[in-house]
Structures are given as structure tokens and as C-alpha cells.
Amino acid sequence: MRFLRFVPLCGWLLLAGCSSTPDTYAPPIQREPLYGPQGGALGHFVNMSAPNADVYIVGGILPGEPGSPWRWTGKRPELRFHLPVTSNLRFVMDFSVPETTFPQRGPVTVSVFINGRLLDKVRCAKHGEVHFEKAVPADWLRTDASTIAAAEIDKVWVAPGDGAQLGFILIRAGFVQ
């Protein structure tokens, strides 16, 4: 009989321990931000080792090995950039004139163009890395469309094996403040 007195108490304890399980919801839809860096979007600067470097290339740059820090160019490589502002910008380009090409073609001159306008010429009297940096007039640049940067070498090197016409080795390029 004592046992029967505990039955209602056990029932109340079982009911007190019950609760409904929370509702489950799917995670919200993932969206790209309206502003800021995006995986395939154009920016103001590119390293040739970047996974999205091909997005910047308009032409004149040969495909590279994935992750390679540089790429061969042809006579006139062209890159496109998206600029958030146009004032107080400098165009920067790091490139190299390889030692193996120097005996055949000697010193070279690289002309740098921004949206079709000549920014400057760089005379490379010896082989090695070159750092080019020069201010760009704000009225040459655009924020509503791509800005095109090009560099044209005066003498190409013809590769002995396959006859490819090569210009210089491009490492990085773009706009900085």
C-alpha cells in the first residue's frame, strides 16, 4: 500500500521533466557583401601569385603555374582594375628582365599606359628586378568602369625552343595611395 502513495508523485515528476523540443530552422541564405573584397571581383592591385589573377588579365600575359609568383608577358600585357577612388593614386608595377634574355636583345624600354595614355617610359639598362611607381592624374582614372593598365616593351625575346615572343616577367601591378 505504501507503494500506491508514490504513484501519483511519480506521475507528476515524469510530467515535470517533459518539455517540447525546440523548433529547427535552416541557416539563412549566404550572400556576398555589397562592398569589400570578393573572391572573383576586381580590386585595385594584383599579385601574379593570387588565385584570381586571371580575372585581371585583359591580354598579353601567358598562363602560369598555380601559385607561381610571376608570369611571362608578351609584347604588350594589359590588366584591368576596379578603383573605388581616383584621387592621389600611384601606379605600381614590379617586373623583371631575365638575365637569359639580355645577351640577345640588350637594354630594353618599357612604356606604361593607363587607359591608353602614356604615363612614363622605363629604360632597363641591365637585367634584374625593376620597381616602377608613378602618380596618375585623377582625370585619367574611372570608378564607374574598369581602368586598363598596359606596359609595352620595345624589343621582345624569341624563345629558341618554341619561338614564343616574350617580353618581361610580371610580378605584381596595381594602384596604391
Mean pLDDT in the chain?
Answer: 85
Q: What angle do CA 151, 131, 113 make, to 5 degrees?
A: 20
Residue 61 · residue 153 · CB < 8 Å: no
- The predicted model gives 81-91 an average pLDDT of 95
- The predicted model gives 21-37 an average pLDDT of 53
* Residues contacting 52, CB < 8 A, separation 6+: 39, 40, 46
- The predicted model gives 62-73 an average pLDDT of 90
Q: What global pTM score does this model have?
A: 0.76
State the first-to-last Cα distance of the chain, in angstroms, to the nearest integer: 90
Q: All domains of the chain, ordered by start, with CATH?
A: 45-62+71-176 (2.60.120)
* pLDDT computed for residue 1 by the predictor: 54
* pLDDT computed for residue 20 by the predictor: 60
Q: Residue 10: is its pLDDT beyond 90?
A: no
* pLDDT computed for residue 35 by the predictor: 41
